[in-house]
Chain A
Amino acid sequence: MTLHDLEKIFQAKIDQEIKIEPKDWMPEAYRKTNIRQISQHAHSEIVGMLPEGNWISRAPSLKRKAILVAKVQDEAGHGLYLYAAAETLGISRDQMIDDLHSGKAKYSSIFNYPTLSWADMGAIGWLVDGAAIMNQVMLCRTSYGPYARAMVRICKEESFHQRQGFDALLVLSKGSEAQRAMCQDAINRWWWPSLMMFGPKDSESTNSDQSMKWKIKRKTNDELRQNFVDMIAEQIKLLGMTLPDPDLKWNEERKHYDFGEIDWTEFWNVVKGNGPCNKQRLDARRKAHTEGQWVREAAIAYANKKKEKSAAA
């Protein structure tokens, strides 16, 4: 069979909504795109543990502490499934982690913003997880089987996190003046970075067309961003807070909310490593990895000793 034939069969499967499985033939670019996207997603979960982990020791009640710890633990679990899904494409977890630490692999830029108050825990749950869900619900139907199945599980937990985040903000919104100010300030800081999570505009996005054809993505960045704005613009009314965008307005003709222009200079700055916490986040990951080196070595040495002993017995 020629390469052309293989490609035709592959595209036919995609068109018929048949999932691509690890042992199936796939174009090298499809494999690479999936590795890039799944590992980037896994790294985002792992790096994303840092800004929220930042508030575990200071959570304001035991209940909130337990919710936050469980949430950060869920993210570690998501990272684990996603690394496993990416491994089915022939890359090792060690390699992916090295790529993260060397700066070769990316993670979601949103986690390069600092968490400055308790309200940020709510805002991250509501806005950041909310934006992530838009993307992830779509990914439950992505064409690569292991990724789609991992996403089904992840989505269930993410929706739960979003509700918890909203609930945390709702309590603040009904609280004292200081709490309301904390809530509004967190929304102000997280709103625009959340919109940036959907990536560049469709007209500027380099990876979009092929990914749509291969059904890795099923909606464009701009479509997903619009869905998100429409959802949040309604939900914020329940909080009695405002979104920091004077241009946000319901457009009766489009049946969508119009919204203002994203600061793309800021977006590209953060992507290129100049966000408030890029260095801090990567340093924290590298430090955990370096400090864990002796632990991993000891675990391997012990496992080998045990193997030798049982072989000798």
Chain B
Amino acid sequence: MNLKNLYHSFLLHLADSSLIIAQRNGECCAHGPILEQDIAITNITLDLLGQSRNFYQYAAQRLNEANGSSETEDTLAYHRGERDFKNFLLCELPNGDWAQTITRQFLFSCFQQLLFEKLSKSNDEHLAAIANKSLKEIQYHVKWSSEWVIRLGDGTEESHERMKKAIDYLWPYTGEMFMPATYDIINLEDLKSIWLNKVEAVLQEATLSVPANTFMHSGGKSGVHTEHLGFLLAEMQYLQRTYPGAEW
């Protein structure tokens, strides 16, 4: 795939992050802690899957126009390998317990909200339209996940401990969201303090705090992932890889 045009990489980065976290959330479907929450997380899965499809379809269109290729949303999702995926490491981390699942969603959705607000003002009308449509969904994701962070943080002793563990585990994967890749088109540094303020306010209400350890992992945006992604893709892509060229 010719990715000399950095804009294509940016679109794939957006698509990959939404798809990979959707794939993870999808694992909760039928296994949630309460029926209503099973429905909620599945709804979020569907929203994120929808976002990724919009971005892949648009990326395919742009790639095909530029390279005369015949990419589709499915070739992009199912026929690229671990090193080609540009999602945040945060998105591929395992679900763990409910605290970890909702905290991962919270950290990601708060970022997505800020990024997509910027993208919704893009000169690229198609991108702006996708961002706008997604923003309505993301607003709900932020609300839902914030409420869970607060509920669990300020719930029982056990839930509080679990939340602390979840934040300690996930926090070192949040820095990557603000580290610019060659293809980024938004000044991420501007978003960082707004994101941090929002996250800190929710954590405070949840009687939790930002961890002292400030070391940050990176690599996802340039295709250097955790060991988790390979297994996730192997499972997700298996039918397309086993029966290349088949229609489903």
- Report the Cα distance A298→B150, complex, angstroms: 10
Mask, A156-167, CB within 8 Å of B = 1, is 000000000000
Chain A residues whose C-beta falls within 8 Å of the C-beta of B46 in the assembled complex: 66, 69-70, 73
B155 touches A298 (CB 8 A): yes
Among the stretches A175-183, A224-232, A243-251, the one at the interface with B is A175-183
- Report the Cα distance A69→B48, complex, angstroms: 12
Chain A CB within 8 A of B50 CB: yes
Chain B residues whose C-beta falls within 8 Å of the C-beta of A53 in the assembled complex: 29-31
Q: Which of B26, B49, B50, B159 contacts A295 (CB 8 A)?
A: B159
Chain A nearest Cβ from B240, distance in angstroms = 6
Mask, A79-113, CB within 8 Å of B = 1, is 11001000000000000000000000000000000
Chain B residues whose C-beta falls within 8 Å of the C-beta of A56 in the assembled complex: 26-27, 29
Nearest chain B residue, comparing its CB with the CB of A300: B155
A57 touches B156 (CB 8 A): no
- Report the Cα distance A63→B43, complex, angstroms: 15
Chain B CB within 8 A of A296 CB: yes
* Given A57-B235, A73-B39, A288-B32: A298 and B158 interface contact (C-beta under 8 Å): yes
B23, B26, B150, B154: most-surrounded residue (chain A CB, <10 A): B26
Q: Which of B23, B50, B151 contacts A298 (CB 8 A)?
A: B151
A118 touches B248 (CB 8 A): yes
A292 touches B33 (CB 8 A): yes
Chain A CB within 8 A of B17 CB: no
Chain A nearest Cβ from B157, distance in angstroms = 9
| A–B complex contacts, Cβ < 8 Å, 9 sampled | A53-B29, A58-B235, A60-B240, A61-B78, A62-B52, A69-B46, A80-B39, A288-B31, A292-B98
A294 touches B34 (CB 8 A): no
- Report the Cα distance A256→B37, complex, angstroms: 45
- Report the Cα distance A46→B38, complex, angstroms: 11
Nearest chain A residue, comparing its CB with the CB of B31: A288
B38 touches A76 (CB 8 A): yes
- Number of B interface residues, CB 8 Å? 48
Chain A residues whose C-beta falls within 8 Å of the C-beta of B154 in the assembled complex: 302, 305
A179 touches B246 (CB 8 A): yes
Chain A residues whose C-beta falls within 8 Å of the C-beta of B155 in the assembled complex: 297-299, 301-302
Q: Which of B30, B34, B238 contacts A50 (CB 8 A)?
A: B30
Chain A residues whose C-beta falls within 8 Å of the C-beta of B238 in the assembled complex: 58
- Report the Cα distance A168→B77, complex, angstroms: 20
Chain B CB within 8 A of A65 CB: yes
Chain B residues whose C-beta falls within 8 Å of the C-beta of A148 in the assembled complex: none
Chain A CB within 8 A of B210 CB: no
- Report the Cα distance A259→B42, complex, angstroms: 40
B97 touches A291 (CB 8 A): yes
- Report the Cα distance A292→B243, complex, angstroms: 38
Mask, A108-128, CB within 8 Å of B = 1, is 000000000010000000000
Nearest chain B residue, comparing its CB with the CB of A48: B30
Chain B nearest Cβ from A20, distance in angstroms = 26
Q: Which of A57, A66, A178 contacts B243 (CB 8 A)?
A: A178
B248 touches A301 (CB 8 A): no
Chain A nearest Cβ from B140, distance in angstroms = 15
Chain A residues whose C-beta falls within 8 Å of the C-beta of B33 in the assembled complex: 288, 291-293, 295-296
A76 touches B158 (CB 8 A): no
Chain B CB within 8 A of A72 CB: yes
- Report the Cα distance A197→B197, complex, angstroms: 56
B38 touches A295 (CB 8 A): no
A297 touches B156 (CB 8 A): yes
A62 touches B49 (CB 8 A): yes
Chain A residues whose C-beta falls within 8 Å of the C-beta of B30 in the assembled complex: 46, 49-50, 52-53, 72, 76, 284, 288
A57 touches B23 (CB 8 A): yes
Chain A residues whose C-beta falls within 8 Å of the C-beta of B50 in the assembled complex: 66
Chain A residues whose C-beta falls within 8 Å of the C-beta of B124 in the assembled complex: none
Chain B nearest Cβ from A241, distance in angstroms = 17
Chain A CB within 8 A of B118 CB: no
Chain B residues whose C-beta falls within 8 Å of the C-beta of A83 in the assembled complex: 35
Using A60-B78, A291-B33 as known contacts, list a sample of 16 further A-B pairs with CB atoms less than 8 Å apart, ordered by residue number in A.
A57-B235, A60-B240, A66-B46, A72-B30, A73-B46, A118-B239, A175-B246, A175-B247, A178-B243, A295-B152, A297-B156, A297-B158, A299-B151, A299-B155, A301-B155, A301-B156
